[in-house]
Amino acid sequence: MKKIFRLFSFFIAAALAAALAAPCASAAYYEPFDHPDVAYADMAYAGVDLDAVAAFCERFAQDPVGQYPALLDLYDEVYTQNELAYIRMCRNAGDGELAAACEQAESDFSYASDAIYLALSEALDGPQGDALRELMPEGEAEGFAGYEPTPADAFDASAEEAALIRQYYLLPDDRNFADAAAELYLQLAALRRDEAERAGFDSYPEYAYAYFYAREYAPEDARQLRRVVKSTLAPLYVRCLYALYEFDPAWDDEPAPDTEELLDAIGSRIGDISPELTEAFDFLRRNGLYCIGEGDALFDMGYTTALPAYRSAFLFNKVDARYSAFKDTVHEFGHFNAAYHDPTPMLYQYGNMDVSEIQSQGLELLFLPYLQEFLAGDDPDGRGAVTLAAVSDILGSVVDGCLYDEFEQAVYADPAMTVKELHALEARLNHEYGLDSISGGEPYWVYITHLFEQPCYYISYAASALPALDIWLRSSDDRDAAVDTYMKVSAARTDAWFFDVLYDNGLCDLTDRGDLTRLAQRLEQQLDPLLQSVPAAHAPIWVWGVAGAAVLLCAGLAFSRKRCRIAAERERGPCYAHNSENDGEEIE
């Protein structure tokens, strides 16, 4: 790999960097604020001290205005402790003691959050309420006013849910895994239906869309998107996969590079997109804020989470091949960069997953010229294969995002569904999306951790992949303008509304059929030079039953690694982010 890097001389590389970076060099996209250098190795895990939280809440009641900064710091601290527990568990897969400690931390975080929200609510109703409102961001006081403590049965249900998720992660990887995972999923679905009913919603997807993710679109909007995807983007996705099979790129089976070699490579080019991306990347490396590698010790996933007590974040990514190591790490860095530049106190951060995924998937596509360089050098066929692979992955985000959203909506609508019917549902949907020949006939949904841990999340991949593809298409006509658009999106804070970000930047809207159709046409035109010489469906079906199924499984696992950690445990009402204690923010 290092030889590939040396194909370009220092002077040529410098000239390219200057040419690509110049339009953005004068733009200041991010709001500056202090980021103290604290290495991950120096971040002590002590757990969430509920007695200390209770004692603080008593002090806060006596002087809410004076103690307000300390309240923000306390919430940052308890959130950070919860995330440190999660990182420890993910770095030590199969360690039951660390898994139990993580489950305890999540439970303690839920109780601590509830106490902090209640203390803030009561203070807003007290004599210093007006003065306290003046200190809070606009509109936030209304969200906390009148907060009611979480009922004990809701805490019990959340603990039961967390225990089931823990069981899922500890299941042995044997021939019974699929059915065992499905049994746990049915139990989770039952708990979640009850949760939605307690909250006054007619269906769990409606509840999750509004309460967990503060989405501005509803499940019925997703149904319209699915119809367009089935007729246009899904067939294009399948064509891309067949064409990629015909290319049979040499790098497809190459092992993942060493972690530092990987980061050296990405770091050598990330600033060529925009110099402002280098600040967060250098901070990540300087402080060891990552766990990237192979081996059974790591959970098979990728995510990024905030560590707000340190004004920091952490990137986790288990890698298994050269191509996916680059692609997934750049994806996660898109989240890390956004988290690093967001000064919003964690108490006021929202789980706007749709914006977050544009920040990650958009960066993947803008990084494509450098991915071509690392994997294919000057070989035009190899570079074409890299393009197909990268765009296919994002198209797969659209297709899988819709397919598994439809899967979840069907599951939550049918309390009587069985394990056998779960597997049959996925098979039926594979047929409807035209994926029969690449599905392999085996249940792959059981490997998608989001379905277990972030219910109704998957549609966010589709909703965000569309504007990310829009940015990529623009880059072929005017890269400087496309980079400018991406950088503005990357600077969006967690309280930015998804549609505001789309409309402000003129990006594709998943609720606009005309937008979707035009995007599909532009994609096909852009990809046609790579596709037109490749047979549309001539790969032997038995080959796809094995190799093709593996492609889909790897893609599904790659997508499932994009674990999104939502911001905070909020039970404040529709259009506010709400998290059960197993949620968090991938800023994934």
Q: Is 166 helix (H, G, I), strand (E, B) or coil?
A: helix
Asked whether the beta carbons of 269 and 367 are under 8 A apart, the reply is yes
Strands 312-318 and 290-293: parallel
Q: Is the pLDDT of residue 556 over 80?
A: no
DSSP single-letter state for residue 291: E
DSSP single-letter state for residue 415: T
Q: Report the mean per-residue pLDDT for the chain.
A: 85
pLDDT in tens, 127-172: 999 999 999 999 899 989 999 887 777 778 888 898 899 899 889 9
pLDDT score recorded for residue 534: 54
Q: Which amino acid is residue 581, in one-letter code?
A: E
pLDDT in tens, 37-83: 999 999 999 999 999 999 999 999 999 999 999 999 999 999 999 99
Average of pLDDT values for 408-414? 97
According to CATH, what is the number of the domain 215-564?
Answer: 1.10.1370.30
Both tokens of 375, joined, read 């994997």
Taking CA atoms, 33 is separated from 25, 70, 465, 489, 490, in Å, by 19, 18, 30, 19, 16
Q: Return the percentage of the chain with pLDDT > 70, whole number.
A: 86
pLDDT score recorded for residue 572: 23
Q: Could you write out the DSSP letters of every residue in 523-579?
A: HHHHHHHHHTTS-SS-S-HHHIIIIIHHHHHHHHHHHHTEEEPPS----S-TTS---
| Distance separating alpha carbons of residues 215 and 258, to the nearest angstrom | 39
Per-residue pLDDT band at 6 (split at 50, 70, 90): very low
pLDDT score recorded for residue 530: 86
Specify the higher pLDDT residue, 494 or 443: 443
pLDDT score recorded for residue 568: 25
Return the domain boundaries, the chain: 38-149, 215-564
Average of pLDDT values for 259-263? 96
Q: Is 289 exposed, middle or buried (0-12, 13-18, 19+ CB in 10 A)?
A: buried
Per-residue pLDDT band at 90 (split at 50, 70, 90): very high
Specify the higher pLDDT residue, 15 or 244: 244
Q: Would you report the helix, strand and coil content of the chain in percent, each value rounded to 5? A: 65, 5, 30
| Distance separating alpha carbons of residues 467 and 353, to the nearest angstrom | 13
Q: Which residues pair with 290 in a beta bridge?
A: 315
Q: How many Å is the Cα radius of gyration of the chain?
A: 23
- Of the listed ranges 84-98, 349-363, 474-488, 571-585, the least confidently predicted one is 571-585
Q: Is the pLDDT of residue 199 over 50?
A: yes
Residue of 235, 223, 236 whose CA lies nearest to 433 = 235
pLDDT score recorded for residue 401: 95
Average of pLDDT values for 444-466? 93
Q: What pTM was estimated for this model as a whole?
A: 0.83
Give the containing element (helix H, strand E) for 317. strand 312-318
